[in-house]
Amino acid sequence: MNAIAVLVAGYICFSLELGLRKALAVGSAGIAPSFVFILCVVVSLSAPPSVAMWTCLILGLLTDLTWPHEIAGGVSTQVIVGPYAIAYLVASQFVLSIRGNMFRRNPLTLGFLCCFGMAIAQVVVVAIYTFRSGYTPEIAWDPTSQLLARLGVALYTGLVGIIVGVFAGPLTSALGVHQPPQRRFTRPIY
């Protein structure tokens, strides 16, 4: 894996996510796609398992540090480290366990894995925040509305993942996570 290329791609994904979040938001809940998670799925779909899990853990940690949670009343924010790091790690494990059964070069594969991987990650995030809100009453948290909004984020991320899936072949080659075919007499398509 080319660490510099993944670092640049991560910077671009975080820039897109922070810069376009309000422009791409749908509805009053602010449902917007996660470009960082799409990068996590691209890496998990093609990289060796240990590299994919470490990359997703680091990207999840950076997501935790990027999105502070509002304290009740909206007066201040609080950074909670861990929910997205654990969620992206669990979603990476899901992608790693199912990637052997998927057609990796199909754009619908990336969209499918982005949608269901993000749904799993958001369920983990909601579970962690719900547990934490039980002993930290300052955090304003409604699990039902949060889960519904976050499942909308998963659907939206899956749709954007299909679009990114068209360019995923050259992207995986540039990131250095493209695995060559396992057969002896085949050649890669891209």
Provide the 10 A C-beta neighbour count for residue 72: 13
Segment holding 7, helix H or strand E: helix 3-24
Name the residue among 67, 83, 84, 78 with its Cα closest to residue 138: 78
pLDDT score, position 73: 65
CA distances from 45 to 49, 77, 82, 189 (A): 9, 34, 23, 16
For the whole model, what pTM was predicted? 0.86
Amino acid identity, position 10:
G
pLDDT digits (tens, 9 = 90+) for 98-147: 988 888 778 899 999 999 999 999 999 999 988 888 787 777 778 888 89
How far is residue 135's CA from residue 80's CA, in Å, rounded to a whole number?
14
pLDDT score, position 179: 56
Torsion of CA 140, 130, 67, 34, to 10 degrees: -120
- Residue given tokens 């080319």 in the structure block: 2
132 CB-near residues (< 8 Å, 6+ apart): 80, 139
Q: Which range has the worst mean pLDDT, 35-39, 65-69, 137-141?
A: 137-141
